[in-house]
Amino acid sequence: MDSQYTVLFVDDEENILAALRRGLYEEEYNCLFVNSGPAALELMAKEPVSVIVSDMRMPGMDGLHLLRTVKELYPRTVRIVLSGFTQLQQILTTINQAGIFKFITKPWMMDEELKVVLREALDYVQLMERKDELEQALRMQNAAFQNMLKKLDVTIESAARQSALTGAVAHDMLVAITERQTKACSESVKSIELKTLGELLLDTSGTVVGDPTDRTDSDLLNLYRHVFSAAKDITSVSVPSDSSDLPLRYQPKLLESIIRSSTAAIVGHLGTCVIKVTCQKETHHGMAMNAVTVLYAKTRTNSASTRNPDPDETDALIFIVGQTLEPLMQTQNGHFVCRRAEVNIIVKYLLPIALPSKKQ
């Protein structure tokens, strides 16, 4: 572990440096020796030094000047004085101006004093490194936490938007149902309207309304395949295998919820169905749209017990499905259109085609 650390000794007396070499040759840390302040700075410019041990009285650049320079250029290097100059004022000046870790006087005791001080200095270096690691980890964890908070804020905001939208849709639909039922409506029609509204609101309320993302009509057709493959009472599904990769923008989870809930309501009303999907470009109120038309065709059987749905009941279901899901499609700048074709039901999902951004 200590082999990665370097201790630099600076003294103008060669016999001092030789004594240090002899006394420290078994230590695991690297020991370097130079005889002047300029030589020490030159060496430190080339390789990292963990601890510097310097004499005070040296010709040219003295120890105080050297250690002040080291403090300025390499503040993380631990600074130690090893000197026979013991005037109190000079010691205090060195400590105050150069930030000395320890002051050792000559002659020194190798094992009981110098090695102990060097061990303490290296422990201090390791402590500072560990502190840096912890601070870096804390910064990274804080950044990750802040990112989580931002995502949570977005989720909460989206959930609030969804809750407000669902509440508004529920209110408007209940008012509409009440107004319709003041007219002559059969009990079966009233039951279908309320049951369908409740199921649609329950199925879509858990989906968070997010911002649309860049997709293509190929992605969209794959989404329809995914939803229909999991739906019940569908005997066959025909979805176009080719696409023009038109650029679209929509929120997949929300659109999946709309397709799934509308399919569940329609198939639950008609019984077993055959589904046929077509996809083409259309212009809707002057806007280029990708229109996916889904035909829910009731499967014809020879069973006498199987009857076609009552047209009034089908119209009631179409009204509720269309009016409930259209506001959700509008959050994607799209539209939801639902109509009856004899005993079958046709749904059209319209999404705007994303225009390429203009280059400045």
Instruction: Give the model confidence (pLDDT) of 180-193 as tens digits.
Output: 655 556 666 767 76
Q: Count CB-CB contacts under 10 A for residue 197.
A: 21
pLDDT at residue 31 is higher than 90: yes
297-326 pLDDT per residue, tens: 988 765 555 677 888 888 888 988 888 888
- Sorting pLDDT into bands at 50, 70 and 90, what band is 347? very high
More confident residue, 168 or 262: 262
Mean pLDDT to the nearest integer, 283-296: 88
Degrees to nearest 5, angle at CA 193 with 189 and 195:
115
pLDDT at residue 358 is higher than 50: no
Domain ranges of the chain: 2-138, 184-352
- Nearest-angstrom CA–CA distance, 203 and 263: 11
Phi first, then psi, for residue 188 (nearest 5°) are -65, -40
Sheet with 30-34: strands ordered across: 30-34, 6-10, 51-54, 78-83, 102-105
Ranges 115-119, 163-167, 189-193: which has the least confidence = 163-167
Mean pLDDT to the nearest integer, 40-66: 92
Give the percent of the chain with pLDDT over 70: 77
Q: Give Cβ neighbours of residue 38 (< 8 Å, ≥ 6 apart).
A: 60, 61
Model pLDDT, residue 232: 84
Check: CATH 3.40.50.2300 for 2-138? yes
- Nearest-angstrom CA–CA distance, 193 and 47: 81
CATH architecture of 184-352: 2-Layer Sandwich (3.30)
- Nearest-angstrom CA–CA distance, 203 and 187: 24
pLDDT at residue 201 is higher than 80: no
Model pLDDT, residue 164: 61
Give the residues across from 278 on adjacent strands.
293
Contact 208, 151 (CB under 8 A): no
End-to-end C-alpha distance for the chain, whole angstroms:
58
pLDDT at residue 20 is higher than 80: yes
**Cα dihedral 140/144/150/156 (nearest 10):** -150
Q: Give Cβ neighbours of residue 78 (< 8 Å, ≥ 6 apart).
A: 50, 51, 52, 101, 121, 124, 125
Give the percent of the chain with pLDDT over 90: 29
> What tokens appear for 41 in the block?
């700075």
Degrees to nearest 5, angle at CA 81 with 78 and 86:
155
pLDDT at residue 209 is higher than 80: no
